[in-house]
């Protein structure tokens, strides 16, 4: 299957999941995760209509973004960001999904130029997995409050990389918990809208949409196996 056919299939799956859950497809943004794939594949996906792409490593992204600088692409960082790469990350990306500490927020803030405001999402680790970044459920509200004080960061919501389960239904409780966590944070910090929930990947994005995802991060189903 071509990238264009893959994208059409993904968009059909998004429409179906929206129909089942009474949502509008425009509420769900498809972020194509292009890590490990060359710029030429990204260009194909762009020509098939996609405008938002995600990468998980700053260095790999830098080369690709340079090669594609003739295209008005919105670039999302979805992988862990080291504090010594915050300046580079601010130059390259339009969104950071993987904000995972107050210290990182502070470094991103210090790397800002006057007037700049960078949309970010707070990554939450709901599985308590040691190998994954993200703040714990209990500390999330406090971190949101602290991060929201950095004027050069625009905190738009939460992001989740759930534990892996073969069966997408097994992931549903994690997606639901992220949404409920967002509701609780909103209730305690009503000045923050936190409209975005970044959750759902190739094998479970339909369930994520049913549970309220506004951004899904899809790699394999678009570009093929890595
Ligand atoms: C690789 C990656 C994805 C995409 O995963 P697929 O299963 O290939 O769709 C989504 N989110 C993050 C953070 C990733 O690193």
Q: List, for residues 15-42, the tens digit of each pLDDT value.
A: 999 999 999 999 999 999 999 999 999 9
pLDDT band at 131 (very low <50, low <70, confident <90, very high): confident
**Ligand 1 pocket, mutate which of 52, 56, 217 (most atoms under 8 A from CB):** 217
Tokens of 175: 């997606």
Looking at residue 219, what DSSP letter applies?
Answer: S
Mean pLDDT of the chain: 97
**Token pair listed for 42:** 């990204």
- Is residue 128 scored above 90 in pLDDT? no
Model confidence band, residue 201 (pLDDT cutoffs 50, 70, 90): very high
Residue nearest atom 12 of ligand 1, based on CA coordinates: 78
pLDDT band at residue 130 under the 50/70/90 scheme? confident
As to burial, measured by CB atoms within 10 angstroms (0-12 exposed, 13-18 middle, 19+ buried), residue 166 is exposed
User: What architecture is the 3-223 domain classified under in CATH?
Assistant: Alpha-Beta Barrel (3.20)
Domain boundaries, the chain: 3-223
- What number is the average pLDDT over the span 199-225? 98
Q: What is the DSSP string of 81-140?
A: --GGGHHHHHHH-SEEEEE--HHHHHHHHHTPPTT--EEEEEEE-SS--TTS-SB-HHHH
The confidence score (pLDDT) of residue 140 equals: 98
**Residue 1 scores a pLDDT above 90:** no
Question: Closest ligand 1 atom, CA of 79?
Answer: 13
Does ligand 1 come within 6 angstroms of the Cβ of 30? Answer: no
Is 159 near ligand 1, meaning CB less than 6 Å away? no
161 lines ligand 1 (CB under 6 A): yes
Neighbouring-strand partners of residue 196:
157
Residue 86 CA, distance from chain mean position: 17
Is the pTM higher than 0.85? yes
Alpha helices in the chain (DSSP H): 3-21, 39-47, 58-67, 86-92, 102-110, 137-147, 172-188, 205-210, 220-223
Cβ–ligand 1 contact at 217 (below 6 Å): yes
Which of 10, 29, 78 is the pocket-test mutation for ligand 1 (most atoms within 8 Å of CB)? 78
Instruction: Report, as an integer, the average pLDDT of 157-163.
Output: 97
Q: What percentage of the chain carries pLDDT values higher than 70?
A: 100
């Amino acid at each position: 299957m071509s990238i264009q056919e893959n994208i059409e299939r993904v968009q059909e799956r998004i429409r179906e999941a929206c129909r089942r859950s009474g949502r509008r497809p425009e509420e769900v943004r498809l972020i194509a995760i292009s890590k490990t794939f060359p710029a030429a594949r990204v260009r194909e996906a762009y020509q098939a209509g996609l405008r938002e792409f995600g990468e998980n490593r700053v260095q790999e992204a830098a080369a690709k973004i340079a090669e594609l600088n003739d295209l008005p692409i919105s670039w999302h960082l979805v992988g862990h960001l080291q504090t010594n790469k915050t300046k580079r990350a601010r130059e390259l990306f339009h969104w950071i999904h993987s904000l995972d500490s107050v210290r990182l927020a502070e470094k991103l803030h210090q790397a800002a130029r006057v007037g700049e405001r960078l949309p970010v999402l707070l990554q939450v680790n709901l599985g308590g997995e040691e190998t994954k970044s993200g703040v714990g459920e209990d500390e999330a509200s406090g971190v949101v409050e602290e991060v929201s004080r950095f004027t050069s960061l625009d905190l738009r919501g939460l992001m989740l990389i759930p534990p892996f389960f073969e069966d997408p239904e097994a992931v549903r409780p994690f997606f639901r918990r992220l949404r409920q966590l967002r509701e609780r944070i909103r209730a305690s910090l009503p000045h923050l809208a936190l409209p975005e929930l970044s959750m759902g990947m190739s094998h479970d994005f339909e369930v994520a949409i049913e549970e309220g995802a506004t951004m899904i991060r899809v790699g394999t189903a678009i570009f093929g196996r890595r």
